[in-house]
């Protein structure tokens, strides 16, 4: 009897052991395989393999067993998994716009069954400036400068200054594509401005010159306007408020302008400006008091080619009643590949064509030619 019971117990233990073995095997067999990397591709060119990319680029990591992804890092910058999409053995994502603490030139993908790492270089953009809102901002006032990657470099008033030829001022406000700074009262004219970021030891030089005098045609002050046409518009006006002494203030009633000129003055263009006008631009500060719709201005240097038609689309302002710098490509005044007599290219003329029914009130100042940065 005891022998029968022992055999039954042994049989039960054997069966239990078999079940445990089978369960263990099933569990092992159900585990997914480790991730495998095939290639990383641009989002719109999935058949292409790349080894470098820019911050913000959309890419696809292709391979096998990627569906249980837990983390993805470029260098040590984490991808937000809420912003990825998985389909057909590919993970679609944007390269993080984050400054890495350690540059490994690697991408690591961690899944529920393992991880895979591969070589990939993320190009880190330089701190960038693209221009000033008003190159003739009055000393003591706030200057707005445009650019990019301010958030990437964590620009703020504690770690970033603007150098006005050695006079450093902390930034005041930082946006996605702009910063503001107070212009020193004792600032010099005709200088380059440099942004210095101490957190990442980064610098950026702003295109253009503050109070640019590189090739000043007239500022209506120490570089006076010598033309006769439009001279009545020039004065030491106080309303609107000036930015640098005298300026020309064009006002036209609803009766229209007829055939009239804003200005007509000599301009000693260099040989390079005449031969390569695409390298330069006409700049001036403009204060639009009333918006224009149909009013046009015609810029020309000599009646040997059609003048450049300047419309409201060329004179877009952010706010009415605020001075800002406007740029017009010089090739609109001096055509590329001009075959006429270049000796006759020696003036800047602006004709007004304002129709009846539209009033005009616009301040203009500091006409100059600038080399594009």
Residues of the chain with pLDDT under 70: 1-31
Report pLDDT for 22.
Answer: 44
Report pLDDT for 11.
Answer: 46
Residue 211 belongs to a domain? no
- Within this chain, do residues 159 and 98 fall inside the same structural domain, yes or no? no
28: helix, strand or coil: helix
Report pLDDT for 259.
Answer: 86
Rounded distance, CA 82 to CA 31, Å?
25
Those residues whose C-beta lies under 8 Å from the C-beta of residue 19, and which sit 6 or more positions away, are none
* Structure token pair of residue 351: 């004709």
Those residues whose C-beta lies under 8 Å from the C-beta of residue 48, and which sit 6 or more positions away, are 41, 42
- Within this chain, do residues 182 and 235 fall inside the same structural domain, yes or no? no
Residue 105 belongs to a domain? yes
Output the CA torsion sign for 304, 327, 313, 240.
Answer: negative
- The total number of structural domains that make up the chain: 3
Report pLDDT for 31.
Answer: 64
- Within this chain, do residues 102 and 144 fall inside the same structural domain, yes or no? no
81: helix, strand or coil: helix
Residue 42 belongs to a domain? yes
Residue 28 belongs to a domain? no
Q: State which residues form the domain around 197.
A: 128-205
Element spanning 30, H or E:
helix 2-30
- Within this chain, do residues 317 and 340 fall inside the same structural domain, yes or no? yes
Report pLDDT for 30.
Answer: 58
Give which of 328, 325, 294, 330 is closest to 312, Cα–Cα: 294
- Within this chain, do residues 133 and 114 fall inside the same structural domain, yes or no? no
CATH number for the domain that contains residue 299: 2.60.120.430
Three-state SS letters, 180-214: EEECCCCCCCCECEEEEECCCCEEEECCCCECCCC
Residue 30 belongs to a domain? no
- Within this chain, do residues 293 and 365 fall inside the same structural domain, yes or no? yes
Rounded distance, CA 351 to CA 357, Å?
18
Domain final residue pick, 123, 141, 176: 123
CATH number for the domain that contains residue 55: 2.60.40.10
Domain final residue pick, 159, 175, 205: 205
User: Could you give the C-alpha distances from 11 to 5, 7, 19, 283, 296, in angstroms and in order?
Assistant: 10, 6, 12, 98, 103
Q: What is the pTM of this model?
A: 0.85
- Within this chain, do residues 240 and 357 fall inside the same structural domain, yes or no? yes
Residue 140 belongs to a domain? yes
Domain final residue pick, 56, 90, 123: 123
- Within this chain, do residues 354 and 334 fall inside the same structural domain, yes or no? yes
Residue 336 belongs to a domain? yes
Rounded distance, CA 309 to CA 307, Å?
6
Which residues make beta-bridge pairs with 58? 94
- Within this chain, do residues 136 and 82 fall inside the same structural domain, yes or no? no
- Within this chain, do residues 254 and 296 fall inside the same structural domain, yes or no? yes
Residue 18 belongs to a domain? no
- Within this chain, do residues 277 and 356 fall inside the same structural domain, yes or no? yes
- Within this chain, do residues 196 and 306 fall inside the same structural domain, yes or no? no
Rounded distance, CA 230 to CA 250, Å?
9
């Amino acid at each position: 009897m005891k022998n029968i019971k022992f055999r039954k117990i042994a049989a039960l233990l054997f069966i239990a052991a078999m079940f445990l073995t089978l369960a263990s095997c099933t569990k092992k067999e159900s585990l997914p395989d480790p991730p495998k990397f095939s290639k990383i591709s641009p989002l719109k060119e999935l058949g292409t393999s790349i080894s470098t990319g820019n911050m913000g680029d959309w890419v696809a990591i292709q391979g096998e067993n990627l569906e249980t992804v837990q983390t993805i890092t470029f260098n040590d910058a984490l991808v937000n998994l809420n912003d990825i999409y998985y389909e057909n053995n590919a993970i679609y994502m944007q390269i993080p716009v984050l400054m890495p603490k350690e540059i490994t030139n690697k991408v690591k993908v961690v899944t529920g069954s393992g991880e895979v790492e591969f070589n990939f270089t993320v190009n880190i953009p330089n701190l960038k400036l693209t221009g000033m809102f008003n190159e003739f901002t009055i000393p003591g006032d706030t200057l707005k400068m445009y650019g990019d990657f301010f958030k990437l470099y964590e620009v703020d008033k504690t770690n970033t200054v603007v150098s006005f030829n050695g006079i450093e001022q902390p930034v005041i406000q930082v946006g996605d594509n702009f910063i503001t700074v107070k212009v020193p009262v004792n600032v010099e004219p005709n200088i380059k401005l440099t942004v210095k970021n101490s957190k990442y030891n980064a610098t950026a030089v702003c295109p253009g010159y503050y109070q640019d005098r590189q090739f000043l045609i007239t500022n209506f002050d120490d570089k006076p306007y010598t033309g006769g046409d439009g001279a009545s518009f020039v004065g030491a006006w106080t309303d609107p408020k000036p930015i640098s002494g005298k300026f020309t203030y064009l006002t036209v009633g609803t009766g229209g302008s007829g055939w009239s000129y804003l200005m007509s003055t000599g301009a000693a263009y260099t040989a390079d400006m005449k031969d390569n006008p695409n390298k330069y631009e006409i700049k001036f500060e403009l204060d639009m008091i009333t918006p224009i719709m149909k009013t046009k201005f015609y810029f020309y240097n000599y009646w040997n080619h059609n003048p450049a038609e300047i419309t409201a689309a060329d004179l877009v302002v952010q706010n009415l009643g605020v001075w800002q710098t406007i740029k017009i490509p010089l090739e609109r005044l001096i055509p590329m590949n001009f075959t006429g007599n270049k000796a006759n290219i020696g003036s800047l003329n602006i004709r007004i064509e304002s129709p009846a029914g539209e009033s005009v009130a616009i301040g203009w100042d500091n006409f100059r030619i600038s080399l594009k940065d």
